[in-house]
Amino acid sequence: MPRLLVVHHTPSPAVHSMLDKVLEGAATPQVTGVELVSRAALTASPVDVLEADGYLLGSPANLGYLSGALKHFFDTIYYPCLNETARRPFGLFLHGNDDCAGALAAAAKITTGLSWRQISEPVVVTGAPSTEDLDRCWELGAVAAATLER
């Protein structure tokens, strides 16, 4: 069964609400046969990444950059997973109080280096997530799961 790994750093209520919607979308009953695994960025391991068939990544944008936790995740998994995970699909959701440009650019550089394949536009939210923002998070989860459905 294909496995979707959700790696997240959710210290704030805003990012946590986005994660909830991503997980809800990924678990939609319209998609079957996909195992959903959620890991905090500081506990996700190279084994988690190697055992997954696709990824969803979530982070706050702290001072405009990826959270240290998600950056640590990437640092931990980069070389052990570099060749083994090329072309695997991924999606991204970010939240910032005022700027996510640096976080978005950093995630793009890292995932390009890993040769991962982006499945949809990142969900980038500044300020309090609106209903529309949360709907986009749900859609991101559903699209990711559907991408892996066999």
What's the CATH number where 142 sits?
3.40.50.360
DSSP E strand boundaries for the chain: 3-8, 35-40, 54-62, 65-66, 89-96, 117-118, 123-126
The count of structural domains within the chain is: 1
Give which of 44, 47, 23 is closest to 34, Cα–Cα. Answer: 23
The residue range of the domain holding 8 is 3-148
Residue 150 has pLDDT above 80, yes or no: no
Q: Is the pTM of this model over 0.95?
A: yes
89-121 pLDDT, tens digit each: 999 999 999 899 999 999 999 999 999 999 999
31-79 pLDDT, tens digit each: 999 999 999 999 999 999 999 999 999 999 988 899 999 999 999 999 9
